[in-house]
Amino acid sequence: MSLYLSLIQAMIVILGLVFVGLILKRRGVISPDDRVIFGRLTTDLALPALIFVTLARQNIQEGELAAVWIMAVSLLSCMALAWIVGRALGLLAGQLGAFILVASFGSSSTLGYALISQTFTDPAALGEAVIISELGVGIPIFTVGVAVAIYFGQGRGGSIQSSFKAFLKSPIFISLILGLAVALLHLNWGEFPLTILTRILDLLGGTLAIFVSLAVALMLRPIPFRSLAPLILAAAAIKLLAKPLLAFALARAELLDPLDMEILLIETAMPSGTVAAVLADRYGCDGGLASALLIATFAVSLITIPLIMLL
C-alpha cells in the first residue's frame, strides 16, 4: 500500500505543477507563445546540465549493464511497435513522431526514482536505478528520441542525414558525450573548483521539473476524447503493458538477480515521461497530442502498475 501511495503522491506533484502552469496561463503570466522559450530552456539548459552532472558522477559496474541492455532493447522495440501502429492509424508525420515518443519513453527518473526509494531500504538500489535509467533510457531518448523528434517534426519525414546532423550539434548530445568522458576520468567532485561547478549544474538540472511542467501546461489544448480514444488505448497498451512484459521476459532469460529485475520492472512500468512530450513539441511534432497522451497514461498507470507489480 505504501508503494501505491508513493506513486499517487509523485503523480500528484507532477500534475500539480502542470496545474500551476495552467493557472499562470489563465492569468496571463505566461502565454502559449512562451512554450518555445520553456522548450528551449528544457532541452538547451536544464537537460544538458542534468545529463552531464549525473553521468559524470556515475561509477558504472559491469554487472549492471545487462539491465541497461534490456531496458534499451525494450524501449527500442516499443518505438518500432509504435511506428507500426501509428502508420496503421494513419497519423501524419508530426502526430506520428509525438505518438512514438510518448508510447516508448517513460518517467523512469521522476516517478521511478520516487517509487524505488520508497520500496527498497538499501540505498544501493536507487544508485542502480539511476544507472539503468540514465543509460538505458537517457541515452536512447537523447539520441534516437531526439533524432525521431527532429525527423518527424522539423523534417516532416524528410532527410535522415540532416536530422542526424542537427542532433549531433545539439546541447543534449554534447553534454551526453562530455558526461560519459568525464565519468571515465573518475574525478574527485569534492575538490574546489569542481564543487562549485557541480552546485551550479545541480541547480540548473533541478529546474527541469518546473520547465517541463510549464511547457506541458502551455501545450495542452482541448481534444475530443472520441477522436483521441484509439491513440490513448494504443499508447497505454504499448507503454504500460507491452514494455514491462517484454523487459520481464528478457530479464528472466538473462537470469538477472531479483533486485535488478524488480528495479527494471518498476522503471519500465512507469507512465509516459514529460520530457518526451517536451521533446516532441520542441522539435516540431504535435506537442498538444503528446501532452494529452501523457496525462492519459498517468491516469491509466494507476491501474496497470499494481497489476504489473504482481509479477
Q: Does residue 30 lie in a domain region?
A: no
| Domains in the chain, number | 1
Grid cell for residue 303: 491501474
Rounded Cα distance between 199 and 196, Å, is 5
Q: Does residue 49 lie in a domain region?
A: yes
Q: Does residue 136 lie in a domain region?
A: yes
Cα distances (angstroms) measured from residue 181 to each of 25, 69, 93, 171, 178 = 41, 20, 35, 15, 5
What is the dihedral sign for C-alpha 26, 32, 33, 34? positive
Q: Does residue 190 lie in a domain region?
A: yes
Q: Does residue 14 lie in a domain region?
A: yes
N- to C-terminal Cα separation, the chain: 16
**pLDDT tens over the chain, length 311 residues:** 565 666 667 767 878 888 999 999 999 999 988 988 988 898 889 888 888 887 787 776 665 788 999 999 999 999 999 999 999 999 999 999 999 999 999 988 667 776 776 777 776 677 678 778 878 888 888 788 988 998 898 765 445 566 567 777 888 888 888 888 888 887 776 677 778 988 999 899 888 888 888 888 887 777 667 778 999 999 999 999 999 999 999 999 988 888 888 889 989 999 998 889 888 988 889 988 998 898 888 888 888 988 887 76
Distance of CA 176 to the CA centre of its chain: 15
Q: Does residue 18 lie in a domain region?
A: yes
* pLDDT given for residue 61 in this prediction: 65
* pLDDT given for residue 251 in this prediction: 92
Mean confidence (pLDDT) of the chain: 84
CATH of the domain at 81: 1.20.1530.20
Q: Does residue 142 lie in a domain region?
A: yes
* pLDDT given for residue 189 in this prediction: 67
* pLDDT given for residue 1 in this prediction: 57
The parent domain of residue 305 ranges over 2-25+37-309
* pLDDT given for residue 240 in this prediction: 96
Q: Does residue 110 lie in a domain region?
A: yes
